[in-house]
Amino acid sequence: MVWPLALAQFIASYAASNMNVAISAIAEDLNTTVFGLQTAITLFTLTMASLMIPGSKLSDILGRKACFMGGLIVYGIGALLAALAPGLGVMIIGYSILQGVGSALMIPPIYILVTVWFTDLKTRAKYFGIVSGAGGLGAAAGPLIGGVITTAISWRASFLLQVLVVAWIIVLARKINDPKIEGKKPSFDVFGAVLSAAGLFFVVLGILQSRTYGWLGAREDFVIGNTVVIPEGGISPVWVFIAIGALFLLWFFLHVRSVERAGREPLLHLRMFGNRTANLGLGTQTIQWLVLQGSFFVISVYLQEVRGFNAIETGLMLTPTTAGILLASAGAERFARRHPQRWLIIAGFLLTTVGMGLLLWLVRDDTGIFSFVPGLLFMGVGIGTMLTSSVNIVQSSFPDADQGEISGLSRSVSNLGSSLGTAWAGSVLVAVALPNGGSFGVALLTLAVFSAIGLVLAVLIPGRKVKA
């Protein structure tokens, strides 16, 4: 029963990572620019991240299965439009908007259903391992699968593959049992949804702009229309966007407080932020995805720009990480029966940090491909170990009635971490110009620092067992 959920998580993660290897081919075929395709990828990320909390709330109103199936249908239509796109406009509608909306609808129910199906923490860990492993596999294998399909057939075939997989998931998902939600169905807070979406949109947009403008002084003029709003050397527009997003989020929290005091149903209850264990778990989730996506970006760009690897070879080089994620995810239930979830997160960050250290120590411009294997394998095992445990800790910190809200919040911070990881790594590569691949080493070192911060957060998680 969990396999349709795992496949849906896989295909959503695949969609977010495979596009990077097909940008040039798509741009040439659609008679557009690489910048135009990067904009489409950015809009996909923004749409998904902005709507994850509203999409999660809808699962409490419409039902988890209905929301999951609806999301799959919207996603599949978007993938079909992208496959048939004659130009950039249709590509943006299909990929950026419809697939983004579909992801925001179908991903939260995945984690809600696993939580309500399996009340035992250790059994839940097994199935979270399957789902999280599928997500990690999609992110890790996306460049390889996308590269092979794009090279051997066409980039359009990659989108058609997604349509076929989604159709298969819909067939499998017909037998999903959606436990009845007790009590009165909540209302949908439209104004709260607009405020939360706007806040997350501008925060993520600001983070993504760091690759172009940097984090401190603007590397180039920030222009709107024909007007230079921020000249080169002025404050980076990153902080302008983040500040706008923060104001919307502050407005959102004030709105939620007002709605709760009036006795009405908010989009997200403030009690979601009052659980220390869950808050620390959300922090580790954010850093895990930051490290995962950031390190994949750094390693992929290094292999292509310094080693001269093509997309397929780059994907193959990341196989040890993929294998490590699968091995750790497969052992999630066994690990959970022997060790507290907190210790698994600590072990995961330790292994990931060791893996990064091995890459920095062993890999040089003149070393062979096997110098990558130990570091990548350690990273994969570390990431696979802690992804499952963090999700389990967060979801298990709340009763079934709150699963819709915490699932949306959890997926939002994961998307935020993914966006921050690639943006941070890209901005470091641009800012630090060192010969012989030195800038890639600096970028990986900064990601190792983030991993160490995640380790500190994991240590701070209360040692008591989380009640299911």
Amino acid sitting at position 21: V
Average pLDDT over residues 104-121: 82
CA neighbor of 304 nearest in space, from 317, 314, 315? 314
Residue 120 class from Cβ within 10 Å (0-12 exposed, 13-18 middle, 19+ buried)?
exposed
151-188 per-position pLDDT tens digit: 788 889 989 999 999 999 999 888 888 777 666 777 88
C-alpha distances (whole Å) from 91 to each of 29, 41, 88, 273, 451 are 12, 10, 5, 37, 35
- Strand blocks (E) in 314-360: none
Residue 121 pLDDT grade (very low, low, confident, very high; cuts 50, 70, 90):
low
Q: Are residues 408 and 288 in the same domain?
A: yes
Q: Tell me which DSSP letter residue 228 carries.
A: E
Q: What is the CATH number of the domain that holds 165?
A: 1.20.1250.20
Asked if the structure places residue 93 within a domain, the reply is yes
Q: Are residues 102 and 129 in the same domain?
A: yes
Amino acid sitting at position 142: G
CA neighbor of 107 nearest in space, from 413, 340, 320, 424? 413
Q: Are 211 and 423 within 8 A, CB to CB?
A: yes
Asked if the structure places residue 104 within a domain, the reply is yes
If one counts every other C-beta atom within 10 angstroms of the C-beta of residue 174, the result is 9
Q: Are residues 225 and 279 in the same domain?
A: no
Average pLDDT over residues 209-221: 80
Asked if the structure places residue 163 within a domain, the reply is yes
* Residue pointed to by tokens 């389990």: 392
38-72 per-position pLDDT tens digit: 778 778 877 887 888 888 888 888 888 889 999 99
Token pair for 324: 């490590």
* CA–CA gap between residue 250 and residue 167 (Å, rounded): 40
Residue 360 class from Cβ within 10 Å (0-12 exposed, 13-18 middle, 19+ buried)?
middle
Average pLDDT over residues 311-322: 78
Residue 20 pLDDT grade (very low, low, confident, very high; cuts 50, 70, 90):
low
Domain that holds residue 224: 189-266
Q: Are residues 19 and 143 in the same domain?
A: yes
Q: Are residues 26 and 175 in the same domain?
A: yes
Asked if the structure places residue 120 within a domain, the reply is yes
Amino acid sitting at position 409: L
* CA–CA gap between residue 188 and residue 248 (Å, rounded): 19
Q: Which of 139-143, 153-157, 411-415 has the lowest mean pLDDT?
A: 139-143
Q: Are residues 62 and 161 in the same domain?
A: yes
Q: Which of 204-213, 292-301, 332-341 has the lowest mean pLDDT?
A: 332-341
387-409 per-position pLDDT tens digit: 778 888 888 888 777 777 887 78
In terms of phi and psi (left: phi > 0; alpha: psi -120 to 50; beta: otherwise), the region of 234 is beta
249-262 per-position pLDDT tens digit: 999 999 999 998 98
* CA–CA gap between residue 290 and residue 283 (Å, rounded): 11
Q: Are 440 and 369 within 8 A, CB to CB?
A: no
Q: Considering 237, 266, 295, which residue would you say is the last residue of a domain?
A: 266
Q: Maximum distance among all alpha carbons in the chain?
A: 66
Residue 141 pLDDT grade (very low, low, confident, very high; cuts 50, 70, 90):
confident
* CA–CA gap between residue 451 and residue 348 (Å, rounded): 10
Domains: count for the chain? 2
Residue 35 class from Cβ within 10 Å (0-12 exposed, 13-18 middle, 19+ buried)?
exposed
The whole-number pLDDT of residue 355 equals 93
Q: Are residues 129 and 41 in the same domain?
A: yes
Q: Are residues 333 and 381 in the same domain?
A: yes
Amino acid sitting at position 35: F
Token pair for 12: 């959503």
The whole-number pLDDT of residue 74 equals 95
> Is 265 in a helix, a strand, or coil?
coil
Amino acid sitting at position 439: S
For 224, the enclosing helix (H) or strand (E) is strand 222-224
Q: Given a cut of 70, is residue 119 above it in pLDDT?
A: yes
Q: Are residues 211 and 348 in the same domain?
A: no
- β-bridge mates for residue 222, sequence order: 230
Q: Are residues 206 and 278 in the same domain?
A: no
Token pair for 190: 């439209």
Q: Are residues 122 and 228 in the same domain?
A: no
CA neighbor of 65 nearest in space, from 14, 8, 125, 134? 8
Q: Of all residues in the chain, what percent carry a pLDDT higher than 70?
A: 94
Asked if the structure places residue 467 within a domain, the reply is no
Handedness of CA 11, 13, 16, 17 (dihedral sign): negative
Q: Are 373 and 320 within 8 A, CB to CB?
A: yes
Q: Considering 215, 233, 266, which residue would you say is the last residue of a domain?
A: 266
The whole-number pLDDT of residue 437 equals 66
358 CB contacts (<8 Å, ≥6 apart)? 374, 375, 378
Q: Given a cut of 60, is residue 206 above it in pLDDT?
A: yes
The whole-number pLDDT of residue 467 equals 43
Asked if the structure places residue 100 within a domain, the reply is yes
Residue 234 class from Cβ within 10 Å (0-12 exposed, 13-18 middle, 19+ buried)?
middle
Q: Considering 211, 235, 266, which residue would you say is the last residue of a domain?
A: 266
Residue 383 pLDDT grade (very low, low, confident, very high; cuts 50, 70, 90):
confident
Q: Given a cut of 90, is residue 138 above it in pLDDT?
A: no
Asked if the structure places residue 466 within a domain, the reply is no
Q: Are residues 244 and 276 in the same domain?
A: no
Asked if the structure places residue 468 within a domain, the reply is no
